Structure 1
């Protein structure tokens, strides 16, 4: 990151968009090679900030100046878990300074339309103690527009009905936060460290959406404008502690790491609809929706590595628990008195607890000066405990999985290396895919999950060549990926309906 002159002005999302094969859209959705089931770690560990809807706000607000580097791991090894997606892993390595003495840097940037940001980073090392920290503040905005066109074909008559949805909006974003860490050398072999961070993101916006639909005969049966006013606050925190111990053998290391993180996200959204053609059963023209999402992550890991024979042995464990609650309140507003009443059919609370216990082992073996191999196996037990509080539905999903990986490297020359890698991964369903309650975004966009969903699995094979063409470093990849028990969505004439169990495949409708 230090080599990029735009670092002082970029967000983490801006930085990720510069990485080959990786893309972040304006809404914060991340894809690697077109795949969206991407897991984002911070210093190799999961964080509540990078899960669910929290991720988009964090990526668009965190300053790139806090990053040391970005790692994209297309075929993760046995030491990496499967939280948040069974696909590639993006590891955000946070900035660290360990040089003796003090160091500080301050950045400030001003742009058009009232945009500005500022950040400060500093570190100090003396004797056995080292401390570092950063502060950041950012304000910007974004204009958006979109168009959705749907055509529904009657399977019997072939008649076509059509609907269009046009949207224009603008948002105003503010973020501020800090992070800090300290390490202390207890002796020649032991280092302890603590870390803490807090970030707050606010997002206010206005939008106008125009809906129009026609029946099979071309007659307009639904036409209205809908204005939206949104206020949202997202608060994130994390606390961590670690112990690194060097063993008596050269290269022998044992690490313990405990991290606690949480997110509180609240939003208030007000809707007003003006009907030119009002469809049957449409809601009153004034409504309001309150959303409160809480996420708590506890992650405790242990990793041990030591030379064994002519190779390197790695062993480790992981104990993790993620708790989520999603509280949605929907209110109808009387257009004359402006009195609000709770809409029971659209108000719900959903709770999801995710518990993971994992063990892993890997062995890296250098055959000779050209060939090296690494094989690994991870065993994971996962339990999803779901409670749809509003409807009284309680369900539990559990699975035990063996996850192998293998890597072969061949040094063809001093400048050229060939790599072959394979990884098996697990992608578990998220809360939106599990919640069976019908969630209304608007009259044309609804969704519902399926609590019976099982994990989907993927097998990824990759062949790569790294070489130099003159002074240009070149990286060529050929890869294949196969997914089984795919978690997919089904749609019908009402929009998206996730959750009706399907006997033929792993579906969320």
Structure 2
């Protein structure tokens, strides 16, 4: 048996081919040049090393649980960002705040196959806007994650794979992107490959400003639907954020079958904000009880850093690999805010003139991961065995001072001050087995076992908690090949959504003058089952697919809200939000996507999803059900000499909760790319052309009705220029 000289992280090969029914990988790719799917079938790969040519023949076992999109073929990758690249994938939407959804569902974002603190929580938005898309090789969409992925979130996974397989030599680029009303992104990229060593360095600096407006209305009702209290406020604000983003990858070929790799990332993003608002509260008879103007200013700083290492060994058999990797990451956020309420009317004694409050909150999270995976062929079948351990420590400190008539008289508010710690260990093993049952049927079976231990410690209340459980999660993926152009895919998975540590914190945590959060120590993990069936047609210049899906959740984790006495003593109507377990939630629907090469110059793609959801709400008799629609389309027109116009529109449909809903929003973009010279590229973009990034969140229960309207004025015009010191050669694709 020949020895494979290629590495999954980097290749010294200079030639690669994969054939499926007589087509190469490039020929069988989707019509959209930014999209490509893995092939399956007989594979014959000619791999040329520095000194020897080796031919490996065998069955190529491509994963059939995901869709893969090749970002390296995107002409806008030179000046674009990761957020731009994600927005070009059918069904994926990144809003101006950095929230990522797939067909209307929130997703988990991975980096190189592993969860990343840099791409989670408050860090994700700025990281996606800072990471250049030139650094991305492929993006994988896993709509129904199986046994190989952690079951902690129960959501679709988007995995961003960065560039690793660089051709020999030194390559570099500089790019700058400027946007209105005020913003910029400068990026530097450097790749060096010599002999057995490859180094990739990237740095960027983001500077952006954003204006926002808000309108909120709250009504407290009695059992007869009569209004007991009501409040409303209207405000506007401005936020600015700026900071660096750094990434580095190093790869070293230890020998013909062994590769060692390491990666480092760092991101720091200070954000300054100011806002003003006008608020009024009324009693049941309509009399004004509170009337005040508020002004506030604050600083929010997020910082994250991560270090990872990977060792890969290639065995004597095709597709035989042993991978071991470990990572250590830390993220920290610090939020300091000062508000001043100037009262014109108040029924609270002492609420006269200006009342000042200050708030500070710090969240520190450290996460370590150790993972090992062994892949081996067994005849024509493929077996994968893996194990991993995740360690996570979380600290949340929250303090509120005031209210007082001046800063010197501020005293700590014990009701809104808390110190909460948590320590979580998740140990997991998994096994998958892929078999070609017949020439047309391929089946992938998976089983994942997880054991969780979570310890919490509320230092304020001096209370501790422990949660321990174990789960077995099966998965099944099957593909039926109808012809060289048609196939049908089926899958079933069972997963959990684990509560976040903050969901278990029983203390009241300040969110704003009119809203607080409180955890639930008794919150249990949500159990989820999902079934999908998809038909795909991949032809010459035409690709389309039709997918049906069903999802069912038991012990559903959802948010409930109630009115509590104002812990600040200001007489405001304060809403407290808490996560609880309800009985069942279900959703089913269909989605369709199509891409068509209309001519040599024009390409068209579109997608749409129709979802019917139902949730049993204990606060309301019966079942609350609703229908939502989301989708989008894009047009790609190519001029001579490589110029291009890209136009797209995406619409995220209405999303429903047990208490109400959030309206959908749309976004239209137009991009023009032009190659000025062999070294310079120009990009012009109009972002959010119709300014439809406006959402309305509604709570509608028998005792509480709220309506919150928010809108953001994101950058509307951008210009980008990139300078290349050398063109990148063809990327060498993994042989295994």
Query: Normalised by the size of structure 2, how large is the TM-score?
Result: 0.65
Aligned to 1:452: 522
Aligned to 1:44: 113
Aligned to 2:222: 154
User: Residues 2 and 165 of structure 1: is their aligned pair in 2 closer, same or farther, counting only changes over 3 Å?
Assistant: farther
User: Residues 502 and 130 of structure 1: is their aligned pair in 2 closer, same or farther, counting only changes over 3 Å?
Assistant: closer
1:230 to 276, 290, 298: 298
Q: Which range is displaced more, 183-192 or 486-495?
A: 486-495
Aligned to 1:346: 416
1:77-120 CA-partner distances (Å, limit 9, x unpaired): 2111124x111111111222421222212111223333211111
Indicate yes or no: 2:224 matched with 1:145: no
Indicate yes or no: 2:567 matched with 1:497: no
1:103 to 164, 168, 171: 171
Contact 2:282 2:288 in 1 (8 A): yes
Indicate yes or no: 2:432 matched with 1:362: yes
Q: Which range is displaced more, 367-376 or 163-172?
A: 163-172
Aligned to 1:76: 145
Distance of 1:117 and 1:55 partners within structure 2: 16
User: Residues 202 and 61 of structure 1: is their aligned pair in 2 closer, same or farther, counting only changes over 3 Å?
Assistant: farther
Indicate yes or no: 2:268 matched with 1:200: yes
| Alpha-carbon shift at residue 270 of structure 1 (Å) | 1.0
Distance of 2:400 and 2:421 partners within structure 1: 18
Aligned to 1:15: 85
Contact 1:351 1:388 in 2 (8 A): yes
3-state SS in 2 of match to 1:369? coil
Q: Which range is displaced more, 235-244 or 471-480?
A: 471-480
Distance of 1:352 and 1:342 partners within structure 2: 24
- Provide structure 2 residue ranges, at least 5 long, that are not aligned to the other structure: 1-70, 565-573, 585-616, 619-657, 660-736
Aligned to 2:653: none
Q: Which range is displaced more, 249-258 or 220-229?
A: 220-229
Distance of 1:281 and 1:77 partners within structure 2: 59
1:86 to 148, 154, 167: 154
Distance of 1:339 and 1:496 partners within structure 2: 27
| Alpha-carbon shift at residue 490 of structure 1 (Å) | 1.6
Aligned to 1:412: 482
1:56 to 116, 125, 131: 125
User: Residues 96 and 58 of structure 1: is their aligned pair in 2 closer, same or farther, counting only changes over 3 Å?
Assistant: same
Query: Normalised by the size of structure 1, how large is the TM-score?
Result: 0.93
2:545 to 475, 485, 500: 475
Distance of 2:582 and 2:477 partners within structure 1: 37
Q: Which has the larger radius of gyration?
A: 2
1:477-500 CA-partner distances (Å, limit 9, x unpaired): 211111111111222233543459
Contact 1:448 1:497 in 2 (8 A): yes
Distance of 2:246 and 2:475 partners within structure 1: 37
1:1-54 CA-partner distances (Å, limit 9, x unpaired): 233344344443343333322223333333223223x22211011122233333
- Provide structure 1 residue ranges, at least 5 long, that are not aligned to the other structure: none
| Alpha-carbon shift at residue 155 of structure 1 (Å) | 0.5
Write out aligned runs for 1:160-199 (5 A).
161-199=229-267
Q: Which range is displaced more, 238-247 or 154-163?
A: 154-163
| Alpha-carbon shift at residue 279 of structure 1 (Å) | 5.0
Using CA pairs below 8 Å that are at least 6 residues apart, which structure has the higher relative contact order? 2
Contact 1:386 1:451 in 2 (8 A): no
Contact 2:559 2:579 in 1 (8 A): no
3-state SS in 2 of match to 1:386? strand
Distance of 2:74 and 2:443 partners within structure 1: 34
2:357 to 283, 287, 300: 287
Contact 2:523 2:579 in 1 (8 A): no
Distance of 2:346 and 2:85 partners within structure 1: 46
| Alpha-carbon shift at residue 334 of structure 1 (Å) | 4.2
Distance of 2:525 and 2:291 partners within structure 1: 40
| Alpha-carbon shift at residue 287 of structure 1 (Å) | 1.0
Aligned to 2:496: 426
User: Residues 91 and 498 of structure 1: is their aligned pair in 2 closer, same or farther, counting only changes over 3 Å?
Assistant: same
Indicate yes or no: 2:505 matched with 1:435: yes
Distance of 2:324 and 2:343 partners within structure 1: 60
| Alpha-carbon shift at residue 445 of structure 1 (Å) | 0.7
